[in-house]
Amino acid sequence: MSELFKVKGDRLKIAAYSLICLALAFGFFSRLVAVFRYITFFYPDQVRDAEVYMSMWQGKLPTLGPGASVGGYKLLPLYYYLVFPSTILGVDPVFQVLPNALLSFLSIPLLIYFVYQLLEKTENSKRLFLAALAGFWYSLLFVEIFINTYHWNPGPILFFMLCFLLLYKWQLEAKLPHSAQVGLWILYGIVLAILVSLHSTTLFVMPVAFIASCILFISRNRKNLKKCLLPLLSVAAAIVSLAPYWRGELSRNWANTKGILTKITSASAEAGDRNILERIGKAFQTFVELAQQAYFLGFSGWQTAISIAFFSLLLVLAFLTYKKYKGNSTITLFLAFTWLVYIYAASNFWGLSVIHNKFIILFVPILITVVALDSLDFSSLFNKIAIAVLTLFILLSIILNINFNTKLFAAKYGGDRAISTADIVEIFEQIPARSTVCDLKAEEKWQLFNISYSYKYLDKYISKRDLEFVKDCQPGNYALQPKNEIIQAIEISWPMFTRLKNEQLKGNYRLFLETPAAYVYVVE
């Protein structure tokens, strides 16, 4: 351990610690500071969950989580219980996003530690540098920042995935007293329960990974009955953690569980006639889309070509350098198995593949890249070219993500910033009580956004002006117009966005109030 901190004259370690400091500083600002400028509280899902937390304070404890986007079932409810303690800070919706932002920030040092453990046989300076590079690159990913400064259940997946993997490594490798092993297995079950509550992908993939991990652990300790019983502690911990769900299912005659099982069987049946080549093609497409959605941020011709080239190079390098791989075998095998289960599950789903469906594999390109760099040296021309090309891909990904992050921060803090929840509350506090507020762009966005949902929440719990919100503007109504808006791409390109500057309205709209973020009119 002392070698880790000997940096004098070691340029690689100096670079590594510099990257770690930059990753933590940027991660802290982009997550834990920027989260307090909440500019995306306009989707009905966010308002629905905000009302759930308020109901929890009234003793109405949820037994189901958010609804799945496909399949007609609902997720398990632990995400609500994970977020709920932060609402003790207040009713402002920003406090409901804070757990995601905090876990996103903590996932940066956790990923650095994870990669450092993965590359256990690599020379110390190089090992630290590659771990730092992984953490720095991850800290800049725009989609990870956006989703975790926005209240949404898939956000914490990476943090708990890393916890799950590290817990398993310690269980399999660490020589711990029995009491510590008991604690780790209980924690392992709790983390599993949280993971299966976050998204449909983790709901379907992680139980399979968990069962496989238990089988491997038992096979390695089959002569020790005491150890073989330890996985039962995880099973019990997961079941107890999900007690609210079981309580609800008993009253529903297991309707939601039946819906989940129906989705599993129907998805397998729908994809049953797909041959192996189609499934391989779907897997390749999934990872190329991941590169487009998270690493090169776009679907233009050149970004598609770059994404294909990037993932193809990673596959080639993985094939050519696997014999030189010196990584931790426990982590590697568990990761590989989990990814294969995910790929199989993804090959059963041929619908639209949005970025949150890939959060379970979000860090795969980073891990494969640092492993490839670890296996390469400068001994041959091919290796030198491969290192140079990988470096260019990393730099391009960093530049493109910094570009989108700059746009996001400009939308939060710039002179032409987008409207935030705090701005809206400030405006509501200056509108006469019991007034009617209408939506200027109802026809454009009412079905998708229905901003009255967010407006009603902010007024009901914060400004408390007893305002009424309507779709159509009538004389005497108040109308709020943001000076600047972020226009988000939909479906596969989400959450990439462009910015729109609104001109002040004339005619029948008399200016009542102007703030740095909005115009407020009285309709005449």
- For every residue of 233-290, DSSP letters joined together read HHHHHHHHHTHHHHHHHHHHTTHHHHHHHHHHHHHHHHTTT--HHHHHHHHHHHHHHH
Contact 41, 47 (CB under 8 A): yes
Q: Could you tell me what percent of the chain has a pLDDT over 70? A: 94
pTM, rounded to two decimals:
0.93
Local confidence band at 277 (pLDDT 50, 70, 90 cut-offs): confident
State residue 377's pLDDT score.
Answer: 85
State residue 80's pLDDT score.
Answer: 97
State residue 310's pLDDT score.
Answer: 96
> Average pLDDT, whole number, for the chain?
90
- Residues 386-408 have a mean pLDDT of 96
Local confidence band at 259 (pLDDT 50, 70, 90 cut-offs): very high
State residue 1's pLDDT score.
Answer: 52
Local confidence band at 74 (pLDDT 50, 70, 90 cut-offs): very high
Which of the 8 DSSP states describes residue 293? I
State residue 72's pLDDT score.
Answer: 81
Local confidence band at 350 (pLDDT 50, 70, 90 cut-offs): low
Q: Which value, to the nearest 10 degrees, does the dihedral of the CA atoms of residues 229, 235, 238, 243 take? A: -110
Bridge partners of residue 160, in order along the sequence: none
- Residues 340-369 have a mean pLDDT of 85
- Name the residue among 144, 116, 112, 138 with its Cα closest to residue 366: 138
- Residues 98-104 have a mean pLDDT of 96
- Residues 256-275 have a mean pLDDT of 76
State residue 448's pLDDT score.
Answer: 44
| Measured distance CA(237)–CA(461) in Å, rounded | 36
Run of H or E including 430: none
Local confidence band at 2 (pLDDT 50, 70, 90 cut-offs): low
SS3 per residue for 123-165: CHHHHHHHHHHHHHHHHCCHHHHHHHCCCCCCCCHHHHHHHHH
- Residues 33-49 have a mean pLDDT of 87
Q: Could you tell me what percent of the chain has a pLDDT over 90? A: 66
State residue 255's pLDDT score.
Answer: 94
Local confidence band at 494 (pLDDT 50, 70, 90 cut-offs): confident
The listed range with the strongest mean pLDDT (166-170, 178-182, 190-194, 373-377) is 190-194
Local confidence band at 223 (pLDDT 50, 70, 90 cut-offs): confident
| Measured distance CA(93)–CA(150) in Å, rounded | 10
Local confidence band at 510 (pLDDT 50, 70, 90 cut-offs): very high
Q: Is the pLDDT of residue 51 over 70?
A: yes
Q: What is the pLDDT of residues 18-29, one digit of tens each?
A: 999 999 999 999
Which range (26-40, 285-299, 312-326) has the least confidence? 312-326
Q: Is the pLDDT of residue 500 over 80?
A: yes
Q: What is the pLDDT of residues 399-450, one digit of tens each?
A: 999 999 999 999 999 888 999 999 999 999 999 999 999 878 754 544 445 5
Region class of 222: left (phi > 0), else alpha (psi between -120 and 50), else beta: alpha
The listed range with the strongest mean pLDDT (67-71, 184-188, 351-355) is 184-188
State residue 267's pLDDT score.
Answer: 66
- Residues 333-349 have a mean pLDDT of 86
